[in-house]
Amino acid sequence: MSDILEITESAAHQINAMKKENEEEGALLRIGVQGGGCSGLSYGMGFEHEVAESDIQFEQHGIQMVIDEESAPILKGVKIDYKQSLMGGGFTIDNPNAIANCGCGSSFRTATNEGAPEEC
């Protein structure tokens, strides 16, 4: 399967720095979506050592990534970047599938998946 989402070079550089800092150099980056947040869905990113048979695995900028098959359609076309500012840095996620985002910016919903909305 072709790449589902895109990570920028800036995001890849930050992910590699975090892997080194956390002694996770051999780990894969797991990206997923779960129910929650005030708009119904929220993103998850973390380091992973186990790959399920149904996971989708691919690589960009030297980062080995894994996505569960349920998250894949929701993440199709997503762009993950890392931006640095005077207030610090952080990952940004641009999801063309999101039709609504919450005010706090941590959750979203799509036309086909409302997730499990919670109080902010």
Could you give the domains of the chain?
6-110 (2.60.300.12)
Residue 1 has what pLDDT? 45
| pLDDT at residue number 100 | 65
**pLDDT for position 97:** 78
Tens of each residue's pLDDT in the chain, 120 residues: 457 899 999 999 999 999 999 999 899 999 998 877 666 788 899 999 999 999 999 999 999 999 999 999 989 999 999 998 888 888 888 888 776 666 555 555 666 666 655 555
Q: Which residues pair with 81 in a beta bridge?
A: 92
pLDDT at 76: 93
Check residue 108 and give its pLDDT: 55
Its pTM stands at: 0.78
